[in-house]
Chain A
């Protein structure tokens, strides 16, 4: 049996360049997984030293100190102390320091050295330190710290070979220092004064402080007015790009979906399996995969903003506004991302330190109106205006729809944050504003690819299974009639629709619309196709034609006593229901995964459905009095 690989742990403050160094060392051949019991991602890879020795490298979450209690700090500390079940302590630690920020980064380095593990210091971004006039002496630093120090520029691979050479075997053993002996304040003070001493010897500051390019940019981008305007402009650009650039590949996916469905229909004889493949699998899974371009684009922009250093500024700018909802600036991006799709938005909550704030953000994220609601809005909004609407009126209604979702999300976040109480450990919203840098394209594309694959893998398997079951519910028991509407009414789904009629009636809706709502609980956009089927509307050449035909049909529908069915209050109630209801199984699956419990996903589903029904009920009943 071969010897287990020796493990090197990569430790450092956020933005020290750990991931860049990880990619430079391993050639980005990485494996991702989760730490036992937590949903924080664990990234590991392998590489060879110049001496031909194969080593395993583990990239630990970035943290400022080891003695805190944020998820990242706890994971880093537990890994270094070998406290994860089944995992030994690493054989060596590479501590990555930002050379231009030596004073702060040395605090963590001292803590790591105190643990008694063999340590090599990677002094990264040495070029940037020189640019700001810092003169560093790696040899003196090594002498002061008692561990090897290698100066690097990980982004261009400079110094990486020297670092590999420094990982010589056997690793230097260090006597285990008593960690955390004595009062905490005393230890911290001792460390600070040691850092000061080391910097006096190993680093020489410039005589006068000259402002860097980043300082100059920040004087604009962090300005209360210009900074806010730049931020709004940038976010609008990102949002617009996601919608407009994604439409082309989304069209390709839809065409591929129709082509596949057509091929299967021509190749297979009529039967249940063909129905399952065409409607359940191709149609169902396709309705999820179609959002992949938007997700990839969103993560591309997140990666771009992160990699360039702007993301930290965005969180800083939004901290005040989010604070009113009991959240911090870090919740802004996940919530903003959810306008495109709640799934990447919920995945982006991983950057939030406080577990409670993270849960609250996950809870309210689906209320930011996502793009899957658009087809429903596009059918219903013109009906509100009797088809005579100007673009301005339609835009105003769309704005109101988005505002309704956002305000409810922020209000509920505030209530929930108050209900959950303060964190056991106070999380200070500490942000490092890294210097602006040119984006690292390889990092961005890997990030995008990884997220896209994870989306397809996790949501795809689950949604496939659920779509098969939904198809069965819409197909069995079978009716002898050839009419699709009759067949659906006879099926399990149709029968459940009849049962839910008393729930739909107080919203001014009949059993057919109730059934269509029911089918849309797997994915909202299914509502439109169910409505066309249930109200026997012919499919048009394209979506717009079908929607126009559906609108005309609904406008003429009446109750058995002759009253019009889709009155203004009924359409408004339907719209409000779709703004607030959580009708997206992949979102629930991702919530369960990210929140670590199906119970949390179930509670969110029940709360949002109940809220949606009550809001729609209030709109219909009050609207019926006044309109």
Chain B
């Protein structure tokens, strides 16, 4: 069993999760305007 490979794969999975979480949690600029497509204005 290549344990180091399991740990490295796990680290990659955690990094991917963190990356997606940071992308999802990024604050949006509330000063939206025409063209932003949010439909608020």
Q: Which of B4, B23, B33, B37 has the most CB of A within 10 A?
A: B37
- Known pairs A38-B35, A269-B2. 4 more at Cβ < 8 A? A271-B2, A358-B37, A468-B15, A469-B16
Q: Is the CB of B34 within 8 A of A85?
A: no
**When the two chains form their complex, are residues A272 and B31 in contact, meaning their CB atoms are under 8 A apart?**
no
Chain A 337-379, CB-CB to B under 8 Å as 1, else 0, gives: 0000000000000000001101100100000000000000000
Chain B contacts with A in 7-40, Cβ cutoff 8 A: 8-10, 12-13, 15-17, 19-20, 23-24, 28-39
What is the bound-complex CA distance between A93 and B9, given in angstroms? Answer: 54
Shortest C-beta distance, B40 to chain A (Å), equals: 9
Assess the A40–B38 pair: CB atoms within 8 A. no
Select which of A38, A362, A595 is within 8 A of B34 by beta carbon: A38
Quick check: B8 and A594 within 8 Å, CB to CB?
Answer: no
B-facing residues in A455-505 (Cβ within 8 Å): 461-462, 464-466, 468-469, 472
Known: A270-B2, A272-B2, A272-B5. A465 touches B16 (CB 8 A): yes
CB–CB A596/B37 < 8 A: yes
Given A465-B19, A469-B16, A469-B17, A37 contacting B5 (CB threshold 8 A): no
Inter-chain contact A75/B35, CB cutoff 8 Å? yes
Q: Is A442 among interface residues, defined by CB-CB distance under 8 A?
A: no
7 contacts between A and B (CB under 8 A): A36-B31, A37-B30, A71-B35, A273-B6, A355-B34, A465-B17, A596-B38
- Does A74 count as interface, using CB distance less than 8 angstroms? yes
Asked if B33 and A71 make an inter-chain contact with CB atoms under 8 angstroms apart, the answer reads yes
CA distance A74 to B31 in the complex (A): 13
B16 close to A39 (CB less than 8 A): no
Whole-angstrom CA separation of A567 from B41 in the bound complex? 50
A273, B37: Cβ atoms closer than 8 Å: no
Of B4, B12, B20, B35, which contacts A276 at CB under 8 A? B12
A72 to B34, alpha carbons, bound, how many Å? 9
B32: chain A residues within 8 A (beta carbon)? 37-38, 596
Q: Which residues of B approach A to under 8 Å, CB–CB?
A: 1-2, 4-6, 8-10, 12-13, 15-17, 19-20, 23-24, 28-39
> Chain B residues with Cβ under 8 A from A37's Cβ?
29-33, 36
State how many angstroms separate the Cβ of B36 from the closest Cβ of chain A: 4
Residues of A within 8 A of B13 (CB): 468-469, 472
Residue on A nearest B32 in the bound complex, by CB: A37
**Do B20 and A466 have beta carbons less than 8 Å apart?**
yes
Q: Which residues of B contact A271 (CB under 8 A)?
A: 1-2, 5-6, 9
A37 to B2, CA, bound (A): 48
CB distance from B27 to the nearest CB of A (A): 12
Main secondary structure of the interface of A (DSSP, over half): helix
Q: Mark A119-163, 1 if CB is under 8 A from B, else 0.
A: 000000000000000000000000000000000000000000000
Docked CA distance A276–B10 (Å)? 10
Contacts of A358 in B (CB 8 A): 37
Chain A residue nearest to B29 (CB atoms) is A37
Closest to A69 in B: B34
- B2 lies within 8 A of A40 (CB): no
- Is B39's CB under 8 angstroms from A356's CB? yes
**B-facing mask of A82-98, CB < 8 A → 1, else 0?**
00010000000000000
Asked if B29 and A36 sit within 8 Å, CB to CB, the answer is yes
A39 CA / B33 CA spacing, docked (Å):
9
Q: Say if the beta carbon of A70 comes within 8 Å of chain B.
A: yes
Q: A116 at interface (Cβ–Cβ under 8 A)?
A: no
Q: Please, how many angstroms separate the alpha-carbon atoms of A595 and B35 in the complex?
A: 9
A39 and B24 within 8 A (CB): no
How many Å lie between the Cα of A503 and that of B33 in the bound state?
41
Residue A386 is within 8 A (CB to CB) of chain B in the complex: no
4 shortest A-B CB distances, which residue pairs?
A71-B35, A271-B5, A271-B2, A273-B5
Closest to B20 in A: A465
Residue pair B35, A39 in contact (C-beta under 8 Å): yes
C-alpha spacing A472/B1, complex, angstroms: 18
A269 to B8, CA, bound (A): 14
Counting CB contacts under 8 A, is A275 at the interface? Answer: yes
Given contacts A272-B2, A276-B9, contact A598 B36 (CB under 8 A): no
Docked CA distance A36–B12 (Å): 33
The answer on a CB contact under 8 Å between B38 and A597 is yes
Interface residues in A184-222 by Cβ distance below 8 A to B read none
How near does chain B come to A277, taking the closest CB pair, in angstroms? 9
Contacts of B37 on A, CB cut-off 8 Å?
A: 39, 355, 358-359, 362, 594-597, 600
Tell me which residues from 561 to 608 in chain A have a Cβ below 8 Å from any Cβ of chain B.
594-598, 600
B2 near A461: Cβ-Cβ < 8 Å: no
A414 within 8 Å of B by Cβ?
no
Q: Does A43 contact B (CB under 8 A)?
A: no
What residues of B have a CB within 8 angstroms of the CB of A472 in the complex? 9, 13
